Amino acid sequence: MTDSMTPRERWLAAIRCEPVDRLPFWPKLDAAYPPYQRGRFAGKTNDDLHAFIGSDRNVWGGNVVRTERTTTAVETTRSNGSRRTVYRAPAGDLTDTYDWDEPSQSWHPVEFPVKSAADLPIMRLIFEDATPAFDPDQYEKAKALVDRVGDDGVVATSIGISPLMEFVEHVAGVENAHYLLVDAREEVEALFAAMHRATCRRAAIQAERSPAPVVYSVENTSTTLISPDQFRRYCKRHLADYGRIITGAGKVHMLHQCGCLKAVLPDVNDLPARGIEAFTAPPVGDTRLIDGRSDCPDKVLVGGTSATLWMYPADRIIAEIARDLDALPHTRGIVVTSAGVMPPIAAPETIKAVCERVKAYPVRN
């Protein structure tokens, strides 16, 4: 079969739930993937590996926003594998610490800035003083990236995270966040209001000025971290605001939601966002493609597998993907990916074999 669409055209058509020539396939190779490859793939970059596999690439970039401050400061230093940030405000200072994890090639929090209710007003000042502004230098870099990728993929940018998920993931930590939501709800909600104002402004700038056609909220939503009621109370209305801003500017709004989502799918369906990326199958997530299509009939579903599946031989991976695709009433709005990042144990040859079978799967537009 000869492709009649470029990867960029295919991605954008799939995102809009329009007919495609074949299903897009995107293995999410991150910085942790290349160091573990051996033999003829040793030393290869992710660009090299995508070219070998034949991926329809989604390329992250396109940020055109900087943050300006007047009465506060955020200062970050690195030393001996740790990254320490001091949040300075007239009312006091807060600190967080992240440690570098070599196997995953990423930073992981070991200390959160909000440790007690007394820290909430200080963090609120930090967000109230944060003014997102257009950055011309970043724009030139973003435009160069979009030009470089061209028709070989779609470039996507981000506005960050909605307040509740940011609070849970980066500001207070999971356990402390939930304690504070009970013990100091008014103060937490005042912080959320400040966070939301800043994110709305960032969303407007990204939507209006970024050359990237797709704008993400990187939520990492999972009902293992927050309850469905909390999603409805906080995340849903915040994401609705971001979606209206982004779609109103003619851009596509997508939600990166990589956890257990089954209980909130009807709520996601109500949002202006075009769809869910990192849509994760069991046992890592709790949703099959048919769940997403049943509860979100007009949303694009980007994912459909999980890291666990990619630990098996290609035939087993192909069989499970085909089973889930066969269960769908149609294949519009489906992009097959590794959902979360591709585990390094999945060899490039395995990924390529799956890619070729996905490309050969008969689309039902």
The dotted CATH code for 7-69+130-360 is 3.20.20.210
Strand partners, 305: none
Under a CB-based contact definition with an 8 Å cutoff, are residues 216 and 156 in contact? yes
The pLDDT of residue 313 is above 70: yes
Query: What's the predicted TM-score (pTM) here?
Result: 0.96
Under a CB-based contact definition with an 8 Å cutoff, are residues 296 and 268 in contact? yes
The pLDDT of residue 283 is above 70: yes
User: In terms of C-beta density within 10 A (0-12 exposed, 13-18 middle, 19 or more buried), how is residue 178 classed?
Assistant: middle
Q: What is the arithmetic mean of pLDDT over 307-332? A: 98
Round the CA-based radius of gyration of the chain to a whole number and report it.
21
Torsion of CA 42, 338, 156, 106, to 10 degrees: -60
How much is the pLDDT for 2? Answer: 77
Percentage above 90 pLDDT, the chain = 99
Q: Provide the residue ranges of all domains of the chain, joining segments of one domain with +.
A: 7-69+130-360, 70-115
Q: Check the CA dihedral 203-205-209-210 and report its sign.
A: negative
Average model confidence (pLDDT) across the chain: 97
The 3-class secondary structure across the chain, one letter per residue, is CCCCCCHHHHHHHHHCCCCCCCCCEECCCCCCCHHHCCHHHCCCCHHHHHHHHCCCEEEECCCCEEEECCCCEEEEEEECCEEEEEEEECCEEEEEEEEEECCCCEEEEEECCCCCHHHHHHHHHHHHCCEEEECHHHHHHHHHHHHHHHHHEEEEEECCCCHHHHHHHHHCCHHHHHHHHHHCHHHHHHHHHHHHHHHHHHHHHHHHHCCCCEEEEECCCCCCCCCHHHHHHHHHHHHHHHHHHHHHCCCEEEEECCCCCHHHHHHHHCCCCCEEEEECCCCCCCCCHHHHHHHCCCCEEEECCCCCHHHCCHHHHHHHHHHHHHCCCCCCCEEEECCCCCCCCCCHHHHHHHHHHHHHCCCCC
Task: Convert the pLDDT of each residue in 97-139 to its tens digit.
Answer: 999 999 999 999 999 999 999 999 999 999 999 999 999 999 9
User: What's the CA angle centered on 185, arms 179 and 187, to 5 degrees?
Assistant: 110
Q: Are strands 131-134 and 65-68 parallel, antiparallel or unpaired?
A: antiparallel
Q: What is the arithmetic mean of pLDDT over 134-152? A: 97
Task: Convert the pLDDT of each residue in 209-248 to its tens digit.
Answer: 999 999 999 999 999 999 999 999 999 999 999 999 999 9
Percentage above 70 pLDDT, the chain = 100
Under the banding of pLDDT at 50, 70 and 90, the label for residue 38 is: very high
Q: Which residues, at least 6 apart from 51, have a Cβ–Cβ distance to it below 8 Å?
A: none
The pLDDT of residue 257 is above 60: yes
The pLDDT of residue 153 is above 80: yes
Q: What is the arithmetic mean of pLDDT over 303-332? A: 98
How much is the pLDDT for 193? Answer: 98
Q: What is the arithmetic mean of pLDDT over 291-302? A: 98
The pLDDT of residue 322 is above 60: yes
Under the banding of pLDDT at 50, 70 and 90, the label for residue 1 is: low
Under a CB-based contact definition with an 8 Å cutoff, are residues 236 and 197 in contact? no
Task: Convert the pLDDT of each residue in 59-73 to its tens digit.
Answer: 999 999 999 999 999
